[in-house]
C-alpha cells in the first residue's frame, strides 16, 4: 500500500525525499573546487551574496554559504555526520572513485549490502558520501525483521573495473544524481527518534547499530541516519557546517497535514516563502517544501 499523501497514521508519503543541503563555510575558494572536481557537481557562484549552488544535470543539490567570520564547529556540537550524494549506477560510482583518486582523499569505502559507498571530507571537514544503491529486490531483512544494513569492506579494484567513462563525461556527476540521504550527529538518539518517527512521520528501518538508527519514507533504506557515536552534547549553533537541509513532499495536502501533525505534537513550525521550517531536538533546521 502506498502513501502518496500524509495519512491518518502519521506517516510521510512514500515519495518523500531529501532535497538540498546547505553548508556554512569559511571560504568558497577553498571549498568549491572539491565539490566541482571530486564530487563532480556543476557550480553557479554568486560572489555578491557569498553563495555557491552546486548542481547535477541542472538540479540543485548543495548550497554553500560563505561566512569567513563564523567560527568553526565546536567538537561537542550536533550537526552533520555526512551528506550523501547518490549516483544512478555502479559505473558512475566507479567514475567518482577515479575523481577521488585524482583530486581527493578517500577516507573510507563500504559495502552496506543495500548500497556501495565511498567516503571523504571536504576542505572544511564536512563528511561526504558518494554511493549507489543496489536494486531493491536484492535488499534483505535481518532476523529481527529490520532492513539489513551492514558495513563490510568494499572491493575498490572491482569497483574501478566497472567504469564506463568512454560512454559519458566521467568528470561530471551524471543525470539522476541527487542527495540520497543525510546522516546527522544528534545529542540524544531517543529524542531524535521521537521527533523524526513519531512527530515527523518517518519509519524506523534499522536500529541494530550501537548508538545509531536509520529512518526513511516509502521503504527506502534511509533518508536520515542518526547517531551519537562522537558524543555530541551541544545543540547545533551559529557556526560552520550544516546550516539546514530539506525534505520534499509531493503536494500541498501532504505539507498541510505535516504542519498540523507537528503543531499537534508541540513542535514550533514556521511558515516560510517555500514551505515550512522546524528545528529538531539537536537544533538542526529542517526545511520542508513541495516537489
Per-residue pLDDT tens for 49-92? 999 999 999 999 999 999 999 999 999 999 999 999 999 999 99
Residue 168 has pLDDT above 50, yes or no: yes
Residue 100 has pLDDT above 80, yes or no: yes
Q: CA geometry: angle at 163 spanning 224 and 107, to 5°?
A: 45
Return d(Cα 253, Cα 243) in angstroms, integer.
27
Return d(Cα 185, Cα 7) in angstroms, integer.
29
Q: Using one digit for the tens of pLDDT, what is the confidence trace for 143-164?
A: 999 999 999 999 999 999 999 7
Return d(Cα 132, Cα 180) in angstroms, integer.
9
Tell me which CATH homologous superfamily contains domain 17-290: 2,3-Dihydroxybiphenyl 1,2-Dioxygenase, domain 1 (3.10.180.10)
Q: Using one digit for the tens of pLDDT, what is the confidence trace for 199-256?
A: 999 999 999 999 999 999 999 999 999 999 999 999 999 999 999 999 999 999 999 9
Residue 284 has pLDDT above 60, yes or no: yes
* Dihedral (Cα; 42, 93, 228, 237), 10-degree rounding: 0
Q: Which H or E run includes 252? A: helix 252-264
Residue 8 has pLDDT above 70, yes or no: no
Banded model confidence at residue 117, pLDDT cuts 50, 70, 90: very high
Structural domain spans, the chain: 17-290
Residue 25 has pLDDT above 50, yes or no: yes
Average pLDDT over residues 255-276: 96
Three-state DSSP class for 129?
strand
Return d(Cα 32, Cα 63) in angstroms, integer.
10
Percent share of the chain, pLDDT over 90: 94
- Got the DSSP string for 45-58? EETTTTEEEEEETT
Q: CA geometry: angle at 267 spanning 262 and 269, to 5°?
A: 75
Would you say 52 and 43 are in contact if contact means Cβ atoms under 8 Å apart?
yes
Question: C-alpha 214: how far from its chain's center?
Answer: 12
Set of cell numbers at residue 146: 529490520
Residue 5 has pLDDT above 60, yes or no: no
Judge residue 166's burial from the number of C-beta atoms within 10 Å of its C-beta, 0-12 exposed, 13-18 middle, 19 or more buried: exposed
Would you say 121 and 73 are in contact if contact means Cβ atoms under 8 Å apart?
no
Residue 7 has pLDDT above 70, yes or no: no
Residue 6 has pLDDT above 60, yes or no: no
- Statement: the pTM of the whole predicted model exceeds 0.75: yes
pLDDT at position 164: 76
Number of neighbours of residue 171 by Cβ within 10 angstroms: 14
Percent share of the chain, pLDDT over 70: 96
Residue 177 has pLDDT above 80, yes or no: yes
b/e code 32-59 from CB counts within 10 Å (16+ = b): bebbbebbbbbeebeeeeeebbbbbeeb
Longest dimension (CA), the chain: 55
Set of cell numbers at residue 46: 554568486
Residue 1 has pLDDT above 50, yes or no: no
Name the DSSP letter for residue 83.
E
* Dihedral (Cα; 120, 126, 131, 133), 10-degree rounding: 150
Amino acid at each position: 500500500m502506498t502513501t502518496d499523501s500524509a495519512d491518518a497514521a502519521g506517516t510521510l508519503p512514500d515519495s518523500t525525499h531529501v532535497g538540498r543541503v546547505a553548508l556554512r563555510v569559511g571560504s568558497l575558494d577553498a571549498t568549491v573546487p572539491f565539490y566541482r572536481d571530486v564530487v563532480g557537481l556543476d557550480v553557479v557562484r554568486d560572489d555578491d551574496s557569498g553563495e555557491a549552488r552546486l548542481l547535477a544535470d541542472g538540479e540543485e543539490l548543495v548550497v554553500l554559504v560563505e561566512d569567513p567570520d563564523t567560527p568553526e564547529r565546536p567538537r561537542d556540537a550536533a550537526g552533520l555526520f555526512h551528506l550523501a550524494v547518490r549516483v544512478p549506477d555502479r559505473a558512475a560510482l566507479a567514475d567518482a572513485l577515479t575523481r577521488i583518486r585524482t583530486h581527493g582523499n578517500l577516507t573510507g569505502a563500504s559495502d552496506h549490502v543495500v548500497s556501495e559507498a565511498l567516503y571523504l571530507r571536504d576542505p572544511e571537514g564536512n563528511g561526504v558520501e558518494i554511493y549507489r544503491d543496489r536494486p531493491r529486490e536484492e535488499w534483505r531483512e535481518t532476523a529481527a525483521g529490520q532492513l539489513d544494513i551492514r558495513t563490510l569492506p568494499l572491493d575498490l579494484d572491482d569497483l574501478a573495473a566497472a567504469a564506463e567513462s568512454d560512454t559519458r563525461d566521467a568528470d561530471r556527476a551524471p543525470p539522476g544524481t541527487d542527495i540520497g540521504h543525510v546522516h546527522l550527529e544528534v545529542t540524544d538518539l531517543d529524542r531524535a527518534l521521537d521527533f523524526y518517527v513519531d512527530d515527523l512521520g518517518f519509519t524506523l528501518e534499522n536500529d541494530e547499530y550501537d548508538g545509531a538508527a536509520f529512518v526513511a519514507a516509502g521503504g527506502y533504506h534511509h533518508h536520515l541516519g542518526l547517531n551519537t557515536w562522537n558524543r555530541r552534547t551541544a545543540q547545533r549553533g551559529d557556526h560552520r557546517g550544516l546550516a539546514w537541509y530539506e525534505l520534499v513532499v509531493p503536494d500541498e495536502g501532504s505539507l498541510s497535514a505535516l504542519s498540523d501533525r507537528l503543531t499537534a505534537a508541540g513542535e514550533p513550525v514556521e511558515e516560510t516563502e517555500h514551505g515550512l521550517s522546524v528545528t529538531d531536538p539537536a537544533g538542526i533546521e529542517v526545511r520542508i517544501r513541495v516537489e
